[in-house]
Amino acid sequence: MAPLRAPLEIEFDYTRSLGPVLSRFMTALADRRILGARGADGRVHAPPFEYDPVSAEPPGELIEVGPGGTVVSWSWMPEPLAGQPLAAPFAWALIRLDGADTAMLHAVDAGSAAAMRTGLRVRPRWSATRTGSIRDIACFEPAEGRGGRAVAEAPDEGAPAEVTAGMTITPVRLHYMHTASPGESSYLRGLAEHRLLGQRCGVCGQVYIPPRGTCPADGVPTQEEVELPGSGTVTTFCVVNVGYPGQRVTPPYVAAAVLLDGADIAFQHLVLGCDPGEVRMGMRVRAVWGESGTISHFAPAGEPDAPYEDYARYL
């Protein structure tokens, strides 16, 4: 049977404090100025360093560089992705701004790959909106001519009354096709039928669920399929008290390592259906199936706790 494939989307915002140096760098961008920092060895870094790579000291006064610069290296982006600086094909380039000794990464709107070259003179195309972020530079463009593509100048909406950049949010979005291994594929097909399918190693006899296709102890393929019951024992657990965007269960709740009866490895799942304070090591639980053919969570089975010796070697 063919392995299963499915698209996976992972999306989150990475929020960080800019700190004193990059806050000044970003605030200056809103004023359409690009700042660098002179290091202890006399070299000018743009963007500015937060700590001197030679002396480890924070930079002193930041100095203005550019705005013109020279492409020192580049790579063509034939099919831009959502959220990138330009919707039309462009170049990612390392640009050494005039007055700087290091290069910064940005997009170059050259119109075509044929118009890109190392040594190309470029200048920033400023964004109409000024927010105190790297996006205040919409992109760079060839300083001489337009690289064969007419681009309208963005109208300037004027400098904002005050920009004090303190935080920056970097949206992260990953989109890819995941192909499950043959072992995982039968495990997933089993879930759709509310069956729990693991695999037993032919050498050591250990049962793995979800199956990985090989035994990590012996390094041999595992082929014997084993159906396990939906009952098991909590080996360890933690109470989740921290909320986050998109969370489906309201804290506090319990994430536990559940050792299914007959398995030799515990897997992570939720334990719901009782007060988090009642969950304990050795607690007997049973799978509660969700509507989509997956285990929604585990719930207390109402049986006496498993003796510690039964699960001690799986901790």
Strands 207-208 vs 167-179: parallel, antiparallel or unpaired:
unpaired
| Window of 62-70, 103-111, 152-160, 201-209 that interacts with Zn ion by CB under 5 A | 201-209
Sheet of strand 224-228, all strands in order from the earlier edge strand to the far edge? 207-208, 196-200, 224-228
Choices 3-11, 103-111, 218-226, 249-257 (CB under 5 A): range interacting with Zn ion = 218-226
Structural tokens at position 96:
């050494």
Q: How many residues bind Zn ion (CB under 5 A)?
A: 6
Instruction: Please report, as residue ranges, which positions from 95 to 114 form the binding site for Zn ion (by CB under 5 A).
Output: none
Q: Is residue 223 involved in binding Zn ion (CB under 5 A)?
A: no
Which range, of 73-81, 163-171, 214-222, 250-258, touches Zn ion by CB under 5 A?
214-222
Q: Which of 215, 256, 258, 259 binds Zn ion (CB under 5 A)?
A: 215
**Could you report how far apart the first and last alpha carbons of the chain are, in Å?**
35
Maximal CA-CA distance, the chain: 80
Token pair 């330009």: residue: 86
Candidate ranges 3-11, 84-92, 209-217, 285-293; the one touching Zn ion (CB under 5 A): 209-217
Q: E strands within 192-294?
A: 196-200, 207-208, 224-228, 231-240, 253-260, 267-271, 284-289
Quote the least distance from Cβ 186 to Zn ion, whole Å. Answer: 19
Separation CA 144–CA 97 (nearest Å)? 16
Among 105, 128, 172, 204, binds Zn ion (CB under 5 A): 204
Closer Cβ to Zn ion, 216 or 290, answer by number: 216
The answer to whether residue 201 forms part of the interface with Zn ion (CB under 5 A) is: yes
Provide the binding-site residues for Zn ion, judged by CB under 5 A. Answer: 201, 203-204, 215, 217-218
